[in-house]
Structure 1
Amino acid sequence: MKVLDLRCQKDHAFEGWFGGEADFQDQLQRGLLQCPLCGDAQVRKVLSAPRIQRAARDPAGGAAQESAVPVAAAPAAPAAAASLQAAWLQWARKIAAQTENVGPRFADEARRMHYGEAPERAIRGQASLAETVELLDEGIAVLPLALPDGATDTLQ
């Protein structure tokens, strides 16, 4: 298993687990990788801290034990930025779990609920700027949120 530190064009840091370099390159070329924060598919590898396994002697003279030794430290995102990213991703997943995804039918479904033609429930989906303005003009409360696919799916 190969663990890679990745970044998108907006410089969001995240981790990817791959079977090897060929697996990473294959997924990258097929457009299967995307930033879990913004959905950007322009993903690149960044320096990461590799770990080398070496045998270490027990100070008491016992058998050799395996220990991991970090070799180099990669520049990490500031702790506050990483914490904010993690909190946003957790919040986005919570929103996704508590809402029904109606996809491109969002504006129609919001109207149906507003006019009593469908049961009221928490929904999410896609709407154009024009559709969003029309909904607001009709007195239908909507809140535009950027929830990329990576934030609504379970990451493996």
Structure 2
Amino acid sequence: MIRYTLSCDNGHAFEGWFSSSDDFDRQVDSHLVTCPTCSSASVSKQLMAPAVSTARKKEARQALVMDQAQKETIAKLRELVKSIRENAEDVGERFPEEARKIHYGEADQRGLIGKATAEEAVALLEEGIEIAPLPVIPDDKN
């Protein structure tokens, strides 16, 4: 995609995104590109500054990097999820049915993990059955 700074014959500036320079030319020739302010179809490209890496952009990218406390929190969550999985029975698609059996005393108390649709989860909660989703933790390489 190419981003162009555009202006109309009335001096209004705006941006447009196009798949190619030819796509821009085709759309302008067909009067498909119009000014969002005045609807003029007389539109042209303006000079654009090149994309330059600045200190502000670098700071914004660094803000996306996890600090040590965040890394430790993710590691603890990873351990917690692992422990839950190791100490619970995975009943898969039967989760709603098995959770109800335990809740109503038809089966022994035990930890369960499995799958439920959003509707099934809401129904379980409405019945007073305590459930919670397991968090999906990104792997270390992500």
TM-score, scaled to structure 1: 0.43
TM-score, scaled to structure 2: 0.46
Higher Cα radius of gyration: 2
Higher relative CO (Cα under 8 Å, sequence separation at least 6) belongs to 1
Determine which structure has the larger strand proportion and give its number: 1
